């Protein structure tokens, strides 16, 4: 299926958000995720099914002042 991952079109065979994160090297990284503009907490990523055309944003925390 075709997805948008952080604004880039990707082809993925991932069934869930957790699968997609693993496939793209995020694994156990501490990140925030949203699918189609809706926040998905880490505890729900394994159950969050993806569909063709979904837009996924992955944000890593930044340090600074």
Query: Could you tell me the pTM of the whole model?
Result: 0.91
Q: Is the pLDDT of residue 44 over 80?
A: yes
Nearest in space to 49 (alpha carbons), one of 12, 24, 7, 10:
12
Q: How confident is the model at residue 35 (pLDDT cuts 50, 70, 90)?
A: very high
Q: How confident is the model at residue 61 (pLDDT cuts 50, 70, 90)?
A: confident
**Which domain range does residue 29 map to?**
2-59
Share of the chain above pLDDT 70, in %: 97
Domain count, the chain: 1
CB 39 within 8 A of CB 3: no
Could you tell me if residue 40 is inside a domain?
Answer: yes
Could you tell me if residue 64 is inside a domain?
Answer: no
């Amino acid at each position: 299926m075709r997805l948008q991952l952080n604004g880039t079109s990707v082809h993925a065979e991932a069934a869930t958000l957790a699968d997609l994160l693993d496939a793209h090297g995020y694994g156990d990284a501490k990140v925030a995720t949203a699918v189609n503009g809706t926040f998905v907490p880490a505890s729900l990523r394994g159950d969050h099914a993806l569909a063709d055309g979904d837009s996924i944003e992955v944000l890593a925390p930044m340090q600074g002042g």
